Amino acid sequence: MKSTHFFDRSVSIAPLVTFRVLFGFIMACSVARFFLKGWIRELYIEPTYFFTFSGFGWIKPLGALGMYALFALMFLSAISIMVGFRYRIATTLFFISFTYVELIDKTNYLNHYYFVSLMAFLLIFLPANRRFSIDVWKRPQIYADHVPLWTISLIKAQLIIVYFFAGLAKLNCDWMIQAMPMKLWLPSLTHIPLVGSIFNYEETAYVFSWAGAAFDLSIGFLLLLPATRSLAYFAVVVFHTLTALLFPIGMFPYIMMLSTIIFFPSHLHEKCLAFFQKPLRKMPLINTSKSKGQATSRWVQYAIGFYLLAQIIIPLRYLMYPGSVSWSEQGYRFSWRVMLMEKAGHTTFKIVDQQGDKVEWATNYRHLTPQQEKMMSTQPDMILQFAHYLRDYYQERGFSKPQVYCNSKVTLNGRHSQPFIDPAVDLGDVKKTFPPMEWILPLEDSRRW
């Protein structure tokens, strides 16, 4: 059955299995951490307003009991993925529950949550439970020691895309020439023991910026090549440990350190599995191995192609819109744009009724949490959403056809705060559309403080 066609080749299942176990493990940790930090209450129970994603307005928080139940489900399904129990159901439930939570409020969007959703989605279709799992223990006939090569390659491709686009996004003036935002962030780390004092120097910001860009651009490929793999993985560990220590980026570094283990050759994964399997000898792990050289349906091939194409197009969609993507954030999300901005703003809304005899400035903090206000202040689509909410809110409170004008000043990477949204545009009257959004003012003043 030897074939040179990519989709007909098969490889050891071991790397996929270790990936499944580690993914389930780190997800269970992430969910537990989220619960212990009190974030379920802070982010999904306490707020009264939520910034939903366009097209997903029907997604609502489920109330205190519902949210805790949903996170419990997420936790249990992560454990199930880890041990390979009812794998297909577990991955589906995990994907749905995790993605549901992420879709409740844009405020909490993080690229690594998007990454988790994608990975969970892919795992639904990958046979990662066909070895070293409770499913195999109970139904030995599903055991497989080989899987189609594309299953593992797909995960590797996804990882390479994440790193490469993160690197590509760093190739801009602010990051490379100005060393921004590193130049703003690093001086706040000078109190760190031992190494802290190096952050007093601007040169350090340049080293970090350039090394970060070089790392992101190259690491995916260096992990792929056998000659550089070990060194590359060492770099992965150093890089992510460093970012975990220096910046508040949560679980992301750990997720990446565990995920990239999949790049190692299968014999290492085999060894690892064998080590853990020893104490579990009682498990009948019969090698029925029917899956070797399984042909992949044409439709699956198309689906994979479509998925990868989308993964390349989505991060590049910002090219369709005018102006700086960091400023207008049109095409910013789902594009692996990480660590790129120190952005803060002050955005307020003036509501005027039709006759112009009632004028009120909305009190943001009566409607939004500090975190929501902070995120809304610098992101145009959230500003528009909130403006529409205010329009309806004031309509109910007796304003006739309220117009909503936005006064917004934003600072990006150390530039002076400057007007962000056209103050003459009635945002209440602007339809929620796809970009470009003409009411975003261009980034003009590049003076820095």
- Contacts with other proteins in 83-122 (CB under 8 A)? 110-112
SS3 113: helix
Q: Can you tell me which of 63, 359, 423, 434 binds other proteins, judged by CB under 8 A?
A: 359
Can residue 197 be called a binding residue for other proteins (CB under 8 A)? yes
DSSP symbols for 209-233: HHHHHHHHHHHHHHHHSHHHHHHHH
Can residue 348 be called a binding residue for other proteins (CB under 8 A)? yes
Cα-flanking dihedrals φ and ψ of residue 47, to 5°? -60, 150
Q: Please state, in angstroms and rounded to a whole number, the distance separating the CA atoms of residues 338 and 247.
A: 12
**Separation of CA 270 from chain center:** 30
Check whether the bond before 436 is cis (ω within 30° of 0).
yes
404 bridge partner residues: 351
* Cβ nearer to other proteins, comparing 302 with 365: 365
Of residues 26-65, those binding other proteins (CB under 8 A): 37, 39, 42
What single DSSP character describes residue 415? B
Of residues 305-324, those binding other proteins (CB under 8 A): 324
Q: Can you tell me which of 2, 4, 65, 203 binds other proteins, judged by CB under 8 A?
A: 203
* Cβ nearer to other proteins, comparing 68 with 206: 206
* Cβ nearer to other proteins, comparing 171 with 274: 171
* Cβ nearer to other proteins, comparing 84 with 428: 428
SS3 202: helix
Can residue 344 be called a binding residue for other proteins (CB under 8 A)? yes
Can residue 156 be called a binding residue for other proteins (CB under 8 A)? no
Nearest to 319 by CA among 335, 331, 310: 331
Can residue 354 be called a binding residue for other proteins (CB under 8 A)? no
The stretch among 10-18, 48-56, 96-104, 197-205 that binds other proteins (CB under 8 A) is 197-205
The stretch among 54-62, 69-77, 198-206, 308-316 that binds other proteins (CB under 8 A) is 198-206
Q: What is the largest CA-CA distance in the chain?
A: 81
Q: Least distance from C-beta 370 to other proteins, angstroms? A: 5
* Cβ nearer to other proteins, comparing 247 with 307: 247
* Cβ nearer to other proteins, comparing 197 with 230: 197
Q: Which two tokens stand for residue 172?
A: 């801009």
Question: For other proteins, what does the binding mask look like between residues 383 and 402, x meaning CB under 8 A?
Answer: --------------xxx---
Q: Residue 152's CB: how many other CB atoms inside 10 A? A: 24
Can residue 428 be called a binding residue for other proteins (CB under 8 A)? no
Cα-flanking dihedrals φ and ψ of residue 336, to 5°? 60, 30
* Cβ nearer to other proteins, comparing 414 with 436: 414
* Cβ nearer to other proteins, comparing 111 with 158: 111
Contacts of 396 by beta carbon, 8 Å cutoff, 6+ apart: none
- Give the residue carrying structure tokens 């679980």: 251
What single DSSP character describes residue 193? T
Containing 99, the helix (H) or strand (E) segment is: helix 87-104
Buried b (16+ CB within 10 A) or exposed e, 386-413: bbbbbbebbeeeebeebbbbbebbbbbb
Q: Please state, in angstroms and rounded to a whole number, the distance separating the CA atoms of residues 25 and 150.
A: 24
Can residue 230 be called a binding residue for other proteins (CB under 8 A)? no
Q: Can you tell me which of 163, 233, 252, 389 binds other proteins, judged by CB under 8 A?
A: 252
Q: Least distance from C-beta 344 to other proteins, angstroms? A: 4
The stretch among 135-143, 277-285, 286-294, 356-364 that binds other proteins (CB under 8 A) is 356-364
The stretch among 76-84, 154-162, 191-199, 433-441 that binds other proteins (CB under 8 A) is 191-199
Buried b (16+ CB within 10 A) or exposed e, 350-364: ebbbeeeeeeeebeb
Q: Can you tell me which of 96, 101, 251, 272 binds other proteins, judged by CB under 8 A?
A: 251
Can residue 248 be called a binding residue for other proteins (CB under 8 A)? yes
Q: Which two tokens stand for residue 399?
A: 């304003």
Can residue 367 be called a binding residue for other proteins (CB under 8 A)? no
The stretch among 82-90, 145-153, 189-197, 261-269 that binds other proteins (CB under 8 A) is 189-197
Can residue 301 be called a binding residue for other proteins (CB under 8 A)? no
